[in-house]
Each structure stands twice: as C-alpha cells, then as structure tokens.
Amino acid sequence: MKITVRELYEMYEAIQALAPKGMPVAGAFKVARLARQLRPEYTLYEQQRGALVVQYGHPVAGQPGSYHIPRERLAEFQADLEALMSLEIELPLQALNLNDFADLQIAPAVLLGLGDLLVENPL
C-alpha cells in the first residue's frame, strides 16, 4: 500500500488509540501486527522531525531536550516538515475488518486516522 508519511502518522496514532481497547483475539492480533509494521517507519519519521527541530530551533535553557523554533525560522521549518509529511512510502499493510471492532466504542477521529486500512468486507 502506498501512503504518505502524514497518513503513516495518522494511522500509527489511531492504532495506538485502539491498542488498549479490549477486543476479540482476531482483531487484537491484526492491530498488534499492524502496529509492528508501522512502528519502524513511524520511528524514522520521529527521528527526521526531531532533526528538523534541532536544525531550526535552539535549546531551551533549563529544559533538557526542549527546543524553541524562533518565529523568523518557523516558515522554513514548516515547509521542510510539510515536505517530509508529503513523502510517499510503500508498506505491505493488511486492511482491518470493521467487523472485528463491531462491539467497541471507537472515537470517530480514530476511525478517520485508519483511513484506507479499515474496510467493511475485505476480500
């Protein structure tokens, strides 16, 4: 499946929101497998985003690991971040069957984050 880094981010966040919910074993297995497939790419995204923050920002005194991006560099940072989020990647992702989650209460934002991964009747 070809997705953008933005879609990867949204899918990973949605999967993380689903993970703690009690669900039938088939659904839980599929969610865990999907999280495992997404995690390396998500980690790479986080590393690249962090590198951009370091590149455009400066450390905040007294707050180790915190950076501030000055207003005059914010547009450049946002442009590079948007370029990162727009990159397309290919991942071998398997769709999730909506029926596996029929008994769960799932926030609409989580469903939207799953995007094309969620199908009603997969083949």
The closest alpha carbon to 5, from 109, 119, 92, 81, belongs to 81
Per residue in 79-113, pLDDT (tens digit) is 999 999 999 999 988 877 777 777 777 777 777 77
**Whole-prediction pTM value?**
0.80
Looking at the structure of the chain, the number of domains it has is 1
| Tokens, residue 54 | 């370091």
3-class DSSP state of 22: coil
The closest alpha carbon to 20, from 102, 104, 94, belongs to 104
Per residue of the chain (123 residues), give pLDDT as tens: 899 999 999 989 888 887 766 777 777 888 888 888 999 999 999 999 999 999 999 999 999 989 999 999 999 999 999 999 999 999 988 877 777 777 777 777 777 777 777 666 644
